[in-house]
A and B are shown apart, each in its own frame.
Chain A
Amino acid sequence: MIPAPFAYLRPDSLGAAVAALAADEDAKALAGGQSLVPLLRFRLAAPTTVVDLSGVDGLRGVADDGDALRIGALTTHHEVVRDPLVAEHCALLAMAARTVADPAVRHRGTLGGSLAHADPAADLPAAVLALGAEMEVEGPDGARTVPASAFFADYLTTALEPGEVLAAVRVPKLTGWGFHYEKFSRTAQAWAVVGVAAAVRREDGAVAEARVGLASMAPVPVRAGEAERACGGAAGAEDLRAAGALAREAGSPPSDLNGGADYRRHLAGVLAGRALARAAGMEAVQA
């Protein structure tokens, strides 16, 4: 299918991109196009102007920024998977990115595009939520920072206002933490029926702190707060599986062709326990 016609702009600065988006209320930003091009083709989106961000300098790559990593919005999934700083300080992001789609989609799709698109079944939103990341947003009224916990507003909707561009994601360094991303999907390259992003900090052999982000359990990614709190002091996989089981109470899961709400609750409980135990190094990861 062929998209409806649109004007195409490829500005070379962030200021020009913001101005172009602000000048047309039906304009859309284009990053990797792995969500937008399919929507254009189905004519589910018909923007009058498409503003390609690929010409803007400084939106791509991972930089060490003291107690956090600053990851440019146009950094691709493929680059996130291989980045040595990500591997050292927030490997959860790479674990989630590795499960996105297939190699060809990961070569084009970007971290910023995935977060701005805000599909409830997407993998990276759940990971940045668990990591406590912050979004650096640039707009007509200047720059602002939005925590991940306030960024995802509703189904396919974020806190981005018209004309605003997601410029970078600041991910706090959780050096020394253990991570695991557990995704359940029906076929290769499919979206998550439920996804669980787990981060665990251990002290003296027991769990001191844990974070759990869930994909596909609500219109937005959610934290499993009860499960997180129940992890404190856990000394083995059994404890973590019991704590993880509380994730079934989180969110307000949808019922769709991939599974009913009850099934998703069941999956969330089982997968959260497994993800926590693996993140803590208390259960072997099977290939």
Chain B
Amino acid sequence: MPDIRVTVDGVRYDDQVEARRLLVHHLRRLGKVGTPVGCDTSNCGACTVLMDGASVKSCTVLAVQADGSRISTVEGMAADGEWHPLQSAFHRRHALQCGYCTPGMLMAASDLLQDNPDPTEEEVREGLEGNLCRCTGYANIVAAVLDAAAEMRGAHTRTPVGGGTA
């Protein structure tokens, strides 16, 4: 079995994996269960993570393809006990109901904002076009991403994890 070395949310993991193992299954076996499998058909984006800084659908990457790479998941978003501005904005704007799509939405949104810190509503919708939500109707998700973008361009304030709404 191939040996792989992957850094997930800043921690290095050396493992032997079956070549057929999907990255999303590998992450979940490492205990990083914040990344769910949604459709298993490469369509929904629930499994989105960043691989060397770029969004990928982790159900559509083999773990061996991630050898040597840096993976960021939703579990690494909050820092020092404080939510990322995207997480706070999703909370504040009610950008989730069941929450199944949320990890992928957050990762896709963070990829979009590092590329384009000041997107229009249309650009947010395009940036999230690979992520499906069956609950919200998207309006609050788009509003939350625009909110977070404004906040990140400005003060960069963070809300304590579990902390209140604005």
Interface of A with B (CB < 8 Å)? 1-8, 10, 30, 33-34, 37-38, 40-41, 50, 52, 54, 78, 101-105, 107-108, 188-189, 287
B65 in contact with A52 (CB, 8 Å): yes
A105 in contact with B130 (CB, 8 Å): yes
Q: Give chain B residues whose Cβ lies under 8 Å from the Cβ of A108.
A: 56, 60-61
Give which listed residue, B43, B64, B65, B122, contacts A189 with CB less than 8 A: B43
Q: Give chain B residues whose Cβ lies under 8 Å from the Cβ of A104.
A: 45, 48, 55-57, 108, 111, 130
Task: Indicate the size class of the contact surface on chain B.
Answer: 20 to 34
Interface of B with A (CB < 8 Å)? 2, 18-22, 25, 40-43, 45, 48, 51, 54-57, 59-62, 64-65, 108, 111-112, 122, 125, 127, 129-131
B62 in contact with A189 (CB, 8 Å): no
CB-CB nearest 9 A-B residue pairs? A102-B130, A8-B19, A3-B20, A188-B129, A107-B54, A104-B55, A102-B129, A37-B60, A189-B129
Distance of A174 Cα from B65 Cα, bound (Å): 36
Give which listed residue, A7, A33, A107, contacts B55 with CB less than 8 A: A107
CB distance from A45 to the nearest CB of B (A): 12
Known: A37-B61, A108-B61. A103 touches B18 (CB 8 A): no
CB distance from B77 to the nearest CB of A (A): 17
Most chain A CB neighbours (cut-off 10 Å) among B19, B45, B111, B131: B19
CB distance from B52 to the nearest CB of A (A): 9
CB distance from B17 to the nearest CB of A (A): 10
Give which listed residue, A40, A41, A78, A107, contacts B40 with CB less than 8 A: A41
